[in-house]
Structure 1
């Protein structure tokens, strides 16, 4: 993902339906957990880091991209440059490792998973979101610098192999998946879908994802996948 694409995404994060819904998802997954020390690996422009911080957590935001770090720093976050494959922290440093739509950017995602486990304290939680399903692979993925989209068994195996105990792995953005598949099947070229959206459409899409949170659809495939695991 090049720096210009990162800056475009950062400009959208506070108002775009997808980012807003993802922040709501993160907050819902942390509801009821006692705040502790958290690491956001591949923090992007820091929207999720800020949401976790606002829940009372002591958050460190980490990324390799200068544009991401600059945007996250503007949110008043504790920001560090670093590689997800070799985290600059001692063992057992965090109660939560968050990684939202980052693992697909790294060839050696097995190293990323092992490093997440290493820096977590015993009983610590891993919260990961990734793009789901290679049948949705398109120029959007190429534009964003993805190496893969994940299937549920593949992601679970990756995380368990790193030494985690998986608590949940479920689809997210399920209701919009048929539309995304149809669009990507007919779309030509290599271009990101992350672009400004008309306010009425933006509100409608946020409503769809809000309604989804009440429906029994998590066992279905979504545009994304969410995994929650703990370090035994």
Structure 2
């Protein structure tokens, strides 16, 4: 059976995922998620991978170093062009395409989707499509935000349909043909303390952008017109979507929650490594800010 695209994204916004912030200016959440994802990859044999919603991150470079080849997707063509032009190797082991994964038919050994699933109202259809794209002994690694009681205005800004609970997530995976191997609730206690601070910084940054849009509406409109993004209609076909300024900003900035550039000196992975390690005993609990999941195909 061929799975059809979901009827719509949450709030009918074009999904332009920016899953991983640029490594030169990351958030602590990105550092920790990348740190943990590396560990989940340790026993995964090299093969063909699919990264859904590559955004501005470069996790694929680590996969390439491990011997993987594959495909990176994002609906934002500007980000795809950035990745294509910024490649540091002439080998064509990784392809970049601005398209939705529902159009794919081939199978992959590894699928990665960081901070993607929560954008779909019909996440069950999304999971079933991922399951159909995975080879029989393949691996799915993905992350989602945790706990609806942690819902904030930033979730609304990012276009999230929900945050997840552990039992709910395991149940949905089982119903859509997956066997959960690892589910970590990451972030407690360090990120639980720092996340409100990063949210405040992100809030101030967003308000500054809104102020610029109000003062220079012609410039804002020109920028939007130059980067009209694809959007799924109810019948699953693409159409050009000219988003309103607020919705475009919310969607395109989703997942690019960065601290100011001056913070580079303190937001370095090796500096925070001891603190990241200290959080390991809490991964099997249920008190963090997000879930990182590794599962196989039933």
TM range (shorter): 0.7 to 0.9
Q: Any stretches of 5+ residues in structure 2 without a counterpart?
A: 1-12, 88-93, 207-252
State which structure, 1 or 2, has the greater radius of gyration over its C-alpha atoms: 2
Which residue number corresponds to residue 121 of structure 2?
Answer: 107
Which residue of structure 1 lines up, in the alignment, with residue 170 of structure 2?
156
**Structure 1 CA distance for aligned equivalents of residues 202 and 64 of structure 2:** 40
| Contact 1:5-1:144 at 8 Å conserved across structures | no
Within 5 Å, give how 1:31-110 maps onto structure 2: 31-76=42-87, 77-84=94-101, 86-90=102-106, 93-110=107-124
Work out the number of aligned pairs and report it: 226
Tell me how large the CA RMSD over aligned residues is: 3.1
User: Which of 19, 23, 45 is 2:30 aligned to?
Assistant: 19
CA contact (8 A) 2:17 2:75 kept: no
Change (3 A) 1:73 1:105: farther
TM-score (norm 2): 0.65
Q: Which moved more, 1:161-170 or 1:138-147?
A: 138-147
- Stretches of structure 1 lacking an aligned partner (at least 5 in a row): none
User: Aligned partners of 1:66, 1:4: CA distance in 2, in Å?
Assistant: 9
SS in 1 for 2:170: helix
Q: Determine helix, strand or coil for the equivalent of 2:276.
A: helix
Offset, 1:64: 1.2
Q: Distance in 2 between matches of 1:157 and 1:5?
A: 25
2:258 to 173, 190, 194: 194
| Secondary structure of residue in 1 paired with 2:267 | helix
Q: Give me the TM-score of the superposition, normalised by structure 1.
A: 0.82
| Residues 3-31 of structure 1, C-alpha deviations (whole Å, 9 max, x = no match) | 99959x75x43341433332222211110
CA 165–139 in structure 1, closer or farther in 2 if over 3 Å, else same:
same
Secondary structure of 2:111 counterpart: strand
Task: Give 3-state SS (helix, strand or coil) of 2:183's partner.
Answer: strand
Corresponding residue SS for 2:160: coil
Kindly indicate whether the alpha-carbon contact (under 8 Å) linking 1:27 and 1:52 is maintained by their aligned counterparts in 2: no
- Aligned residue for 2:245? none
Shift of 1:35: 0.4
Q: Distance in 1 between matches of 2:175 and 2:24?
A: 35
